[in-house]
Amino acid sequence: MTRQEFIRTIQAAQRGDRRHFAALYDEYFGKLFATAFHIVRDRDAAYDIASDVVLKLMYFRGDASSIENHVGYMITMVRNRAKDYISKKKREVPSGDIPLRNEAAASDMLWLDDILMILAEDEKDTFFLHYVWGLPLRKVAERINLTYGAVKARKVKISRKLKALYREKQK
């Protein structure tokens, strides 16, 4: 969804027309959930956070055209709500004991915890922006203030790490 489509969706919701919000939900809810889950490590809390962000957008009362980067705006909303959740719980977040329904099928999957453990800190931003949020590499480069070539090289390095991790899990 482009920035202009995002702004039109928010403005339509402000006029009481919420039909267009399905497109925003379809495109971003899964990504919002993944980002929240990365922070809070709790599926239910991540679902609630992502839902809350979508609802806040639906009832947004400010000037939508003042939002320069709608993806960054939503990521910031998720991060803030996740921080609030963690501070309310006043405990450390355990690293991903996720109950599995079908362990045989899940053994072939790469889990976010596994991926984040092998990535360097500077690679995590690129991973989330490109692989989770689907931003083109040029936009990722602009967002994290690097050259396109540097981001492309980082993506190749991340891809190699993911392939190696997958091969390791297959053993």
Please report the pLDDT score of residue 41 as a whole number. Answer: 83
pLDDT digits (tens, 9 = 90+) for 50-99: 988 988 888 888 898 998 889 889 999 999 998 888 877 754 434 444 44
Same domain? 72 vs 138: no
What's the mean pLDDT in 142-169? 87
Write out the DSSP string of the chain.
--HHHHHHHHHHHHTT--TTHHHHHHHHHHHHHHHHHHHH--HHHHHHHHHHHHHHHHT--S-GGG-S-HHHHHHHHHHHHHHHHHHHHTSPPP------S-HHHHTTSPPHHHHHHHS-HHHHHHIIIIIIT---HHHHHHHHT--HHHHHHHHHHHHHHHHHHHHHHH-
Give residues with Cβ within 8 angstroms of 169, minimum separation 6: 107, 108, 110, 114
Domain boundary among 98, 131, 161: 98
CATH code of residue 91: 1.10.1740
- Per the structure, the complete domain to which residue 155 belongs is given by 100-171
User: Tell me, what's the pLDDT at 102?
Assistant: 45
Last residue of a domain, one of 83, 98, 113: 98
- CATH number of the domain where residue 145 is located: 1.10.10.10
Quick one: 78 and 1 in the same domain?
Answer: yes
Pick from 98, 119, 150: which residue ends a domain?
98
Per-chain mean pLDDT for the chain: 81
Task: Choose among 128, 123, 170, 121: nearest CA to 150.
Answer: 123
Residues 120 and 155 in one domain: yes
Whether pTM > 0.75 for this model: the answer is no
**pLDDT tens profile 13-33:** 888 887 777 888 888 889 999
Q: What is the pLDDT of residue 49?
A: 92
| pLDDT tens track for 120-130 | 888 888 888 88
- pLDDT of amino acid 91: 46
The answer to whether the beta carbons of residues 77 and 33 sit under 8 Å apart is no
User: What band does 166 get if pLDDT is binned at 50, 70 and 90?
Assistant: confident
